[in-house]
């Protein structure tokens, strides 16, 4: 094989390497660019802003805290039982309620309600919360996450799209500031 004048084998391999690296870079850039632009190109799914029923207010006796659940409206058909979202409902008095996420504010483990001591307790790292969701002790830096709710036609409704996470505190607490 004869090479054109002034072009060595080293130069050809260098150009092939540059082209190959450019192709690999383009292939890797496609998912990265799609990830960065996804909030702009993909809108919210239809069920995001819906209010979902937790049940009749008669299911939640005054002065008690009960476990409730609703089906995530953004679930896919193959999600099965994982699309059911649990929450704790505290009926204070009359039409005064608190709806807490079941997850601990520390690492997201499911908290349990103990009516004997009127405390929520996390089994993972010993987080403890008072009945109003505020932090009692343990590693969590804040209280339980609270969902917004409303009462309509005798039913307790919660805002479905506001899934609490440790990084998001705006908009979940309604008019009440986050517990410290």
Same domain, 96 and 53: yes
Judgement on whether residues 52 and 133 belong to the same structural domain of the protein: yes
Place of tokens 């192709």: 23
CATH number at residue 51: 2.102.10.10
Whether residue 15 is found in the same domain as residue 88: no
70-114 per-position pLDDT tens digit: 888 878 888 888 888 889 999 988 888 999 989 888 888 899 999
Asked if 31 and 59 sit in the same domain, the reply is no
| Domain-located, residue 169 | no
Q: Residue 16: inside a domain, yes or no?
A: yes
Domain contains 29: yes
Token digits of residue 156: 């307790």
Using one digit for the tens of pLDDT, what is the confidence trace for 3-29? 567 788 899 999 999 999 999 999 999
With cut-offs at 50, 70 and 90, classify the pLDDT of residue 173.
very low
Q: Is residue 165 part of a domain?
A: no
Q: Are 105 and 145 in contact (CB under 8 A)?
A: yes
Residues 52 and 99 reside in one and the same domain: yes
**Same structural domain for residues 6 and 93?**
no
- Classify residue 80: in a domain, yes or no: yes
Number of domains in the chain: 2
Residues 155, 67 share a domain? yes
Residue 145 resides in a domain: yes
Q: Are residues 108 and 151 both part of a single domain?
A: yes
- Domain residues for the domain of 102 are 46-159
Q: Name the band, by pLDDT with cuts 50, 70 and 90, for residue 41.
A: confident
Q: Do residues 17 and 85 both lie within one domain?
A: no
Look at residue 46 in the predicted model and tell me its pLDDT. Answer: 62
Does any domain span residue 168? no
In a domain, 144, yes or no: yes
- Identify whether residues 24 and 61 lie together within a single domain: no
Query: 20: helix, coil or strand?
Result: helix
- pTM comes to 0.66
- 56 and 139: one domain? yes
Q: Do 30 and 55 belong together in one domain?
A: no
Q: How far is CA 151 from CA 44, 63, 73, 96, 118, in A?
A: 25, 17, 19, 10, 25
């Amino acid at each position: 094989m004869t090479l054109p004048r002034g072009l060595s084998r080293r130069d050809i391999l260098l150009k092939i390497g540059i082209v190959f690296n450019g192709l690999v870079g383009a292939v890797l850039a496609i998912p990265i660019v799609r990830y960065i632009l996804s909030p702009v190109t993909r809108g919210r799914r239809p069920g995001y802003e819906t209010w979902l029923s937790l049940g009749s207010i008669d299911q939640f006796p005054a002065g008690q805290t009960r476990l409730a659940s609703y089906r995530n409206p953004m679930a896919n058909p193959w999600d099965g039982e994982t699309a059911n979202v649990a929450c704790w409902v505290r009926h204070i008095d009359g039409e005064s309620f608190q709806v807490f996420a079941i997850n601990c504010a520390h690492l997201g483990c499911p908290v349990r309600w103990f009516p004997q001591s009127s405390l929520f307790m996390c089994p993972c790292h010993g987080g403890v919360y008072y009945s109003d969701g505020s932090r009692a002790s343990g590693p969590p830096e804040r209280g339980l996450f609270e969902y917004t709710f409303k009462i309509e036609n005798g039913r307790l409704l919660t805002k479905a799209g506001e899934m609490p996470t440790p990084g998001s505190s705006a908009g979940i607490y309604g008019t009440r500031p986050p517990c410290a």
